[in-house]
């Protein structure tokens, strides 16, 4: 019988010389994502408090999604899981979304053509990322195209801009600017090179809501300078007093033959329906952009599974569970306000579930506050600087902030805010 030599003897060093695989130069322009950075910051910090940890970092709902979700998923026909879903979703999904948009933004009949302006996406995160691939050209106005990003920002915007080869230009949203980008601060030369503007309203993390006038101005600028404006509205259902205006309100108010031109609005079930794990959202807007987006997605990303489309169809048709969610987050903000009013720069966010607290005077910076809160109170928060881009001179507008996600219930919020206030005084 022929015997094979032992495996180790077969190693041929020359044939197996290893050169590291090349990779995109652009990746090195991306800083570490906020959550691994936080993990590294707290790696050597052990909570001393004898209490259950309070994790207030990630904006992930902690309350159960409505039974509509689980019931619809459970009712799915087994064959629905066997099928590849169409990129454009189902007519029922698009009709349900169009119905919700009509109710939510009080749109006249026919303003939204469900089949031409709505595209399902598996969570808005991937669609926000992919949008840059669609709309960033090689050059604009003779130079490197720009992607405008609010500062602080959702990290995905930066990843999208950098990997699409654009120059990310960060627009501070500070207390002085009403926590939104100052549109007057953008030089004309930058507007001309702008290919895409991500505008998050209600803003993560500051909770600020852009007024209808602001949204109209931003859309007018997009049309004048030939860029796409992406209204990221995933917190738009979690308002506290009045429903925030959205990109579609601006489009309706401006009117015209092509009222949706240059705009895409991103909506998600993740926060609205406590369904971050469902990975379900949609994009609505400019029919030409939707055609391009649909083609690009057919080449790249998976469609939304048919049972998920069915669950999403049912969820967008129901507003009752959203009113319950809204009340849940309002109670959480009330509980935080009862403890923090007048401290740490507390202000009531217009919408959403984040607090953006100023630790000036009580900690050297947000990172130091984060370490103390974890060590002394087993409270995990995110340093503001992990969500902001420093200026060229090194000044970082997020340095003195921490972000807190009020996703636990009101009793837990009250307890953790009392602990937090004791530590940061
Ligand atoms: C500002 C912002 N945009 C978009 C998303 C993405 O949401 P999803 O992909 O769950 O729809 C998030 C999630 O936290 C967010 O904070």
Mean pLDDT of 242-247: 97
* 57 part of a folded domain: yes
Last residue of a domain, one of 299, 319, 339: 319
In terms of residue numbers, what domain contains 366?
Answer: 26-64+321-423
**pLDDT given for residue 174 in this prediction:** 97
pLDDT digits (tens, 9 = 90+) for 114-147: 999 999 999 999 999 999 999 999 999 999 999 9
Question: Same structural domain for residues 117 and 173?
Answer: yes
Please tell me the residue having the least CA distance from ligand 1 atom 14. Answer: 59
Ligand 1 centroid to Cα of residue 311, in Å, is 19
| Statement: the pTM of the whole predicted model exceeds 0.85 | yes
Q: Is the pLDDT of residue 6 over 70?
A: no
Question: Same structural domain for residues 56 and 117?
Answer: no
Ligand 1 centroid to Cα of residue 154, in Å, is 8
pLDDT digits (tens, 9 = 90+) for 249-303: 999 999 999 999 999 999 999 999 999 999 999 999 999 999 999 999 999 999 9
Of the pLDDT bands very low, low, confident and very high (cuts 50, 70, 90), residue 14 is confident
Q: Kindly report the average pLDDT of the chain as a whole number.
A: 96
Structure-token pair, residue 392: 């060229």
Question: Same structural domain for residues 126 and 52?
Answer: no
Question: Same structural domain for residues 155 and 240?
Answer: yes
* 21 part of a folded domain: no
Last residue of a domain, one of 288, 319, 350: 319
Mean pLDDT of 151-161: 97
Minimum-distance ligand 1 atom for the alpha carbon of 128: 4
**What is the CA angle 325-331-337, rounded to 5?**
140
* 16 part of a folded domain: no
Ligand 1 centroid to Cα of residue 233, in Å, is 9
Minimum-distance ligand 1 atom for the alpha carbon of 281: 11
From 17-21, 127-131, 393-397, the region with the lowest mean pLDDT = 17-21
Ligand 1 centroid to Cα of residue 281, in Å, is 10
Of the pLDDT bands very low, low, confident and very high (cuts 50, 70, 90), residue 384 is very high
Question: Same structural domain for residues 165 and 202?
Answer: yes
Q: Is the pLDDT of residue 60 over 60?
A: yes
**pLDDT given for residue 261 in this prediction:** 98
* 20 part of a folded domain: no
**pLDDT given for residue 4 in this prediction:** 64
* 2 part of a folded domain: no
Question: Same structural domain for residues 313 and 371?
Answer: no
Please state the domain count of the chain: 2
Question: Same structural domain for residues 151 and 231?
Answer: yes
Question: Same structural domain for residues 310 and 238?
Answer: yes
**pLDDT given for residue 49 in this prediction:** 75
Which residues sit with their C-beta closer than 6 Å to ligand 1? 59, 123-125, 128, 154, 200, 204, 232, 234, 268, 270, 276, 281
**pLDDT given for residue 17 in this prediction:** 87
Question: Same structural domain for residues 42 and 116?
Answer: no
* 8 part of a folded domain: no
Ligand 1 centroid to Cα of residue 218, in Å, is 21
**What is the CA angle 86-122-293, rounded to 5?**
65
Please tell me the residue having the least CA distance from ligand 1 atom 15. Answer: 154
Last residue of a domain, one of 319, 345, 362: 319
Minimum-distance ligand 1 atom for the alpha carbon of 203: 1
Share of the chain above pLDDT 90, in %: 94
Q: For a substitution probing ligand 1, which of 34, 62, 127, 268 has the most ligand atoms within 8 Å of its CB? A: 268
* 170 part of a folded domain: yes
Ligand 1 centroid to Cα of residue 59, in Å, is 8
Minimum-distance ligand 1 atom for the alpha carbon of 276: 10
Minimum-distance ligand 1 atom for the alpha carbon of 268: 11
CATH number at residue 389: 3.90.1150.10
Mean pLDDT of 360-384: 97
Ligand 1 centroid to Cα of residue 148, in Å, is 18
Please tell me the residue having the least CA distance from ligand 1 atom 6. Answer: 125
Question: Same structural domain for residues 372 and 248?
Answer: no
Question: Same structural domain for residues 40 and 163?
Answer: no
Question: Same structural domain for residues 271 and 373?
Answer: no
CATH number at residue 266: 3.40.640.10
Ligand 1 centroid to Cα of residue 124, in Å, is 6
* 200 part of a folded domain: yes
């Amino acid at each position: 019988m022929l015997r094979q030599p032992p495996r180790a003897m077969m190693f041929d060093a020359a044939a197996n010389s290893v050169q590291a695989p090349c990779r995109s130069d652009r990746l090195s322009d991306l800083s570490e994502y906020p959550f691994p950075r936080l993990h590294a910051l707290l790696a050597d910090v052990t909570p001393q408090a004898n209490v259950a940890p309070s994790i207030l970092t990630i904006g992930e709902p902690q309350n159960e999604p409505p039974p509509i979700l689980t019931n619809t998923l459970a009712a799915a026909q087994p064959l629905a899981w066997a099928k590849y879903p169409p990129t454009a979703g189902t007519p029922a999904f698009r009709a349900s979304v169009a119905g919700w948009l009509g109710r939510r933004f009080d749109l006249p009949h026919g303003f939204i053509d469900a089949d031409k302006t709505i595209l399902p996406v598996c969570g808005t995160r991937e669609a926000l990322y992919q949008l840059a691939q669609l709309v960033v050209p090689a050059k604009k106005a003779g130079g490197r195209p720009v992607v405008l990003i609010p500062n602080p920002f959702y990290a995905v915007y930066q990843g999208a801009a950098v990997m699409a080869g654009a120059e990310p230009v960060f627009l501070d949203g500070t207390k002085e600017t009403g926590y939104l980008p100052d549109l007057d601060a953008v030089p004309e030369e930058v507007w001309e090179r702008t290919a895409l503007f991500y505008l998050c309203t209600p803003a993560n993390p500051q909770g600020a809501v852009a007024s209808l006038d602001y949204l109209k101005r931003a859309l007018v600028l997009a049309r004048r300078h030939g860029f796409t404006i992406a209204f990221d509205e995933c917190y738009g259902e979690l308002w506290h007093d009045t429903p925030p205006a959205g990109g579609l309100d601006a489009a309706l108010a401006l009117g015209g033959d092509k009222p949706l031109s240059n705009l895409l609005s991103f909506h998600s079930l993740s926060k609205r329906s406590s369904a971050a794990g469902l990975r379900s959202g949609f994009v609505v807007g400019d029919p030409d952009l939707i055609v391009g987006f649909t083609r690009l997605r057919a080449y790249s990303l998976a469609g939304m599974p048919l049972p998920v489309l069915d669950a999403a169809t049912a969820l967008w048709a129901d507003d009752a569970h959203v009113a319950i969610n809204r009340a849940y987050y309002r109670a959480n903000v009330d509980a935080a306000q009862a403890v923090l009013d007048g401290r740490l720069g507390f202000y009531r966010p217009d919408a959403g579930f984040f607090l953006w607290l100023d630790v000036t005077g009580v900690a050297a910076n947000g990172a130091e506050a984060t370490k103390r809160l974890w060590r002394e109170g087993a409270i995990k928060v995110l340093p503001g600087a992990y969500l902001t881009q420093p200026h060229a001179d090194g000044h970082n507008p997020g340095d003195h902030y921490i972000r807190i996600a009020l996703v636990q219930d009101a009793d837990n919020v009250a307890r953790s805010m009392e602990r937090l206030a004791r530590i940061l005084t």
